[in-house]
Structure 1
Amino acid sequence: MTTRTQARPQWRVPTALILLSAVPVAAGTFRVAQLTGGARITEENARFFAAPVPVVLHIVGATVFCVLGAFQFVPRLRRRAWHRVAGRVLVPSGLVAALAGLWLTVFFPNPGSYLLNGSRLVFGSFMVAALVVGLAAIRRRNVAVHRAWMRRGYAIGLGAGTQAVVTGIWFAAAGTPSQLAGDVLLIAGWVINLAVAEWLNLKEKR
């Protein structure tokens, strides 16, 4: 009974992270099903059919990164070989998601504003850098630096989940946001996640 009670807190964080990623994962799954299942091309989805490969790479990479990455927060798993094996999948999937997202921001027919697209470039580039620095750190056996940068990379990757939450709260409280407010809400998703990651990093140092 005691073992079960002690195990439950270890799974609270990954469960919350998986729930947080549920909306973007579901939306991404629907989009991939459209692109691979021969759905009718409409005005709403035509731009996705114009460049399906980077869209699918971004969605699949982000899904694997967010869902599998949640289990890296289980202390028991971090002490086992599973953590290293999963990491070898996570880093490439995260890089694919981020690089495909950057490509889509630059070359994809995108209705986003300069503010939003500029933020996508900044946060996407930061995610790539965080994963590369985190990988380099663990190759040097620097676990603390590796963990801090991988948290930052994961925070950016999970941004879509937090964006869904903050946008949903705005809709419920104030209705449809303006273009500027909508952009700020999306940017807030990344900022909130990074703030939590930095708080965890500081907490770990104490």
Structure 2
Amino acid sequence: MTSTPPTRRREWLAPAGLIALSLVPVLSGAARLTQLSTGATITADNARFFDSPVPIVVHIVGSSVFLVLGALQFAPSLRRRRWHRIAGRVVAPAGLLAALSALWMTIFYEMPASVTGPGLSALRIVLATVMAGAIVAAFLAIRRGDVRTHSAWMTRAYAIGLGAGTQVLTFVPYTLAFGAPGPVLHTVLMAAGWGINLLVAEIVIRRRARAMSARRGRPAPASVVSAPLS
């Protein structure tokens, strides 16, 4: 019996970790869909979903597909295969639906105090817009054959989309130590989740660009390494 080479096993660590982190919003979304389909008790925290269920259903389905299939796009062996291109035709529209539905819900849903804080709605609007713009930028880049730029912008979009997973890591330690955060800290902890993801994304983008440049024997374009997030 042959064993999987160590390098092949290592390349799956990142996708596996991303999928594990994605389970938080995916399972939470599945629970929300169950509530909507079975007619759960309507409360102040979920009334908006029963009043207008289409945006939340689109968001849950779109973000779940985007996060799970998107995680597999980080496996180098899959990126070198036709599967990457086929999956990308599903991942990009799913991510766009997730971002646009998040934008719609932020603007039109009446958010209860338990899920918001000062400036959080504005932050959500900015990040949803940036995520949608990043996916469009990635699509335009791959259409002109610019793989580096495509990869960079999709990585940023994925970082924003995975915010709900990382926010568990910012909220749980604080809540266990100090109790439920107040409105201001709620916003800070939410922003920290997105900030951590975007910082990691920029590190990944720079390392990937340097590795590609080393293989090709030329420096990475500044437009890829230092591209702004808006």
Deviation at 1:114, TM superposition (A): 4.4
1:88 equivalent in structure 2: 89
- SS in structure 2 of the partner of residue 134 of structure 1: helix
1:176 equivalent in structure 2: 180
- SS in structure 2 of the partner of residue 42 of structure 1: coil
> AA paired with 1:21?
S
1:15 equivalent in structure 2: 16
Deviation at 1:176, TM superposition (A): 1.5
| Matches for 1:156-195 after TM superposition, within 5 Å | 156-195=160-199
Identical positions, percent: 50
| Matches for 1:55-204 after TM superposition, within 5 Å | 55-111=56-112, 112-204=116-208
> AA paired with 1:125?
T
Q: Structure 1: which 5+ runs fail to align?
A: none
Query: Which structure has the greater CA radius of gyration?
Result: 2
Deviations 1:78-97 (A, max 9, x none): 01111001000001000000
Deviation at 1:42, TM superposition (A): 3.1
- SS in structure 2 of the partner of residue 39 of structure 1: coil
Kindly indicate whether residue 57 of structure 2 is the aligned counterpart of residue 53 of structure 1: no
Flag as ranges the 4+ runs of structure 1 deviating above 6 A: none
Deviation at 1:21, TM superposition (A): 1.2
| Cα separation, 1, equivalents of 2:118 and 2:179 | 23
Number of aligned residues: 206
Deviation at 1:44, TM superposition (A): 3.2
1:37 equivalent in structure 2: 38
Deviation at 1:169, TM superposition (A): 1.5
Q: CA contact under 8 A between 2:118 and 2:187: conserved in structure 1? A: no
Name the one with the larger helix percent. 1
Q: CA contact under 8 A between 2:131 and 2:157: conserved in structure 1? A: yes
| Cα separation, 1, equivalents of 2:118 and 2:59 | 21
Deviations 1:37-81 (A, max 9, x none): 222323332221011000110111111100110000111110111
Deviation at 1:133, TM superposition (A): 0.2
Which segment is superposed worse, 169-178 or 157-166?
169-178
> AA paired with 1:181?
L
Deviation at 1:10, TM superposition (A): 1.3
User: What TM-score, normalized to structure 2?
Assistant: 0.86
| Cα separation, 1, equivalents of 2:149 and 2:123 | 25
Which segment is superposed worse, 33-42 or 161-170?
33-42
Deviations 1:112-166 (A, max 9, x none): 2341000000100000010000010000000000000000000000010001111
